[in-house]
Amino acid sequence: MSLLTSPDHNIPLFHEIYPDNTHYSKQFINIIDKFKSRLAKISNKSHDITLVFDRGNNSKLAIDMLENGDDTLKFHFIGGLRLNQCPEPLKVPKEQYVPLEGEVFVGTSAFRKNLKIYGREFTAIITDNPNLRDAQLLGLNYNIAKCEKELSELQDNLRLRGEGKIVKGGKRTSASVANKIKKILSIEHMSKIIEYNINYSDNNISIDYSLNIDKYNNLVNNYLGKTILLTNRDCWSNEQIVATYMAKYHVEESFRQTNNMKYLSFYPQKHHTDRIILAHRFYCILAFTLSCLLQREMDELGYRMSLNAMLEAFSDAKLSLNIYSSNSSEKSRVVPVFSEMSPPIAAYIAKRDLKKYALR
């Protein structure tokens, strides 16, 4: 599912269901024109819109489509670049980085330069975040230990085969060993920093491997903790650009919510035909949109709460109808009784004057 949300309470503004075997970068290109056509239907005035997307959606065609068109339908954008797309700016000395101002940027610094990519010149912001580096370094060292353990086991297996102590299984070949090592080192960065040799002598195969310390240090010092942002918001400050890119967590939260098994979950789907799947996703998105709008209303009342906490609070509000009847011909009397409600729910019911609908 493609999803476009606002930074205001994650309200869905656009969604589209597409086949699972379509790469999301191609899907992103497919829906840019649909963004623009919907905007044109809403208004023919100029729109000051900034589209935020991650590095997986970048391509020359996507950038061209965002920037082309008449002035009313050109999009500003902030996207991420893969580090291997622009390795040179990553080597800039840290002394040239400028600290970002603001509590959310504590410890983070940035280097700004004009960058020519996709045949156009844009503003690039390279950020250096020590907290991100520390987290990535933990993952890197864990993966190194995991790969070295598996390589050691493969090394022992080949040695024991050579000694005739293991005879079961198919005979190892140089190609099969190379494929096995390639699979072990398929984890990100591992094939770049762990080097190996396959040795073949006397009908026996053996391997040796080692961690390249220079490449490891280069990875830690020049890549970890860094992010490259690309934008045509040339007049914005470093802080504005970085903060806006960070706001893509809104759509990430929305996708997490669609997997929440208690509230607003899209799963289990239990449908198999395209037409019914589209209908199912539509009413799921409709429920999600209405809930986000309700959350915004609660925020305006001064009650800031998560979507799930809000829905939990509303689910506790109950209405009972007490019916009083007699054997006479008099009409039965219906008396609505509301359960005890939390202050946020009581405030919302009072604002909307919902109690008047109790007997309708």
Residues of the chain with pLDDT under 70: 69-72, 327-329
Q: Quick one: which H or E segment has residue 180?
A: helix 174-184
What was the pLDDT predicted at 44?
74
What was the pLDDT predicted at 70?
65
pTM of the model: 0.80
pLDDT digits (tens, 9 = 90+) for 79-98: 999 988 888 888 899 899 99
**Residue ranges of domains in the chain:** 2-128+225-258, 132-219, 273-360
What was the pLDDT predicted at 328?
67
Question: Cβ(117)–Cβ(144) under 8 Å?
Answer: no
SS3 242: helix
What was the pLDDT predicted at 1?
87
Give one DSSP letter per residue of 288-338, joined into a string. HHHHHHHHHHHHHTT----HHHHHHHHHT--EEEEEE--SSSSPPEEEEEE
Give one DSSP letter per residue of 134-155, joined into a string. HHHHHHHHHHHHHHHHHHHHHH
CA 253 centroid distance within chain:
8
| Residue 164 to residue 268: CA distance in whole angstroms | 52
